[in-house]
Copies of this chain bind each other. A is one copy, B any other.
Amino acid sequence: MTGNVASGGRALLKQPVPVQVGLRLQQITSVDQKAENFGVVATLQMRWHDPALAFSPDRCQCPFKLFRDEAFAKFASESHIPWPEFTIFNQQGKRWVQNRYVVVFPEGNAVYLERFSTTLQAPDFNFRRFPFDQQQFAIRIDNLYPEEFFVFQPLEEFNQVGMKLGEEEWVVVDSTASVTSDLSSSLRPVSRFNFQFKAKRHLTYYIFRIFLPLFVIIAVSWIIFFSKDYAKRVDVAGTNLLIFVAFNFTVSGDLPRLGYLTFMDSIIVSGFLVTSLVLVFNVIIRRLELTGMIKWVQKVDQYMLWIYPLFYLAAVLIVTLAFD
């Protein structure tokens, strides 16, 4: 909608019509972290009053008028009645509408109802603390008319997050509805309804599939350091190096190719680097041993035994603090 439209409209409408908007989130069908979007099934309700919609219930022999699907839009367009048409700003692709109704009452009150299924962009994802991150999801509904025509208001009693969202990986921790003013899709400010919720992850997967195996592998490698078989220690450190590379790839497949390191990335990368140092250290020790400097080797190695876990611990601590 552009300035010309508005000035045309301004003659028509004295002041903005308030439109109450409510959204009930019923399902989360998917959360795609790589594509940064999520799928929902939700019901949207809008209520507003327009004298131009008033009618005589006696003439049509009906207590209210019911318009299905496109019928109301067509009717409004033919009667030159503006109504709070909207665009879901962060929608991607098609919105599958299961039910769409407009009910109009004799006095000019209108109720718009739409139950839909769609994919929504989630551009606010921030994975720095992954997998201990908390993400922000939003459904952003922009009016097509500038604010002189319609202003949104949250319809508190309808806004709700369902009990059985069908999402096992995330726990919804909080939800809010608000109305802001936005310029993203138009040259003049339009009213935007924001239905936002926060979610955090279940951690079982990450603990038992990533952290526990890594911890056990490092711990067991440490045990092997008690043996004096330096050749063996070189082999174990080499294998660990490859294991870290494999974990690195496995973990990276979950997320987009970010411009920063996540917490988990840092754990793995610092584990990788510590393991490399350990490997180099063992290679050197092994060499010294072969050149007959056994005494000196064993002296150094005694400290090594305790430096090894401290190294990992230090790496983890530095990473944790850096991400706090």
Contact = CB atoms under 8 A, between A and B. Distances in A.
Contacts of A258: 168-169, 202, 204-205
Interface residues of A, number: 128
A298 interface: no
Interface in A248-287: 248-250, 252, 256-261, 265, 269, 272-273, 276, 279-280, 283-284, 286-287
A96 B93 contact: yes
A224 B261 contact: no
B87 A99 contact: yes
Given A105-B4, A259-B168, A88 B98 contact: yes
Contacts of A158: 187
Number of copies: 5
Contact of A30 (B35, B89, B217): B35
Interface stretch (A55-63, A173-181, A300-308, A311-319): A55-63
Contacts of A35: 29-30
Interface string A32-73: 000111010101010000000000000011111111100101
Contact of A80 (B61, B121, B184, B213): B61
A261 B209 CA distance: 11
Interface in A185-213: 185, 187, 201-206, 208-209, 212-213
A324 interface: no
A99 to B, nearest CB: 5
Interface string A232-247: 1010101101110100
B96 A117 contact: no
B8 A64 contact: yes
A188 to B, nearest CB: 12
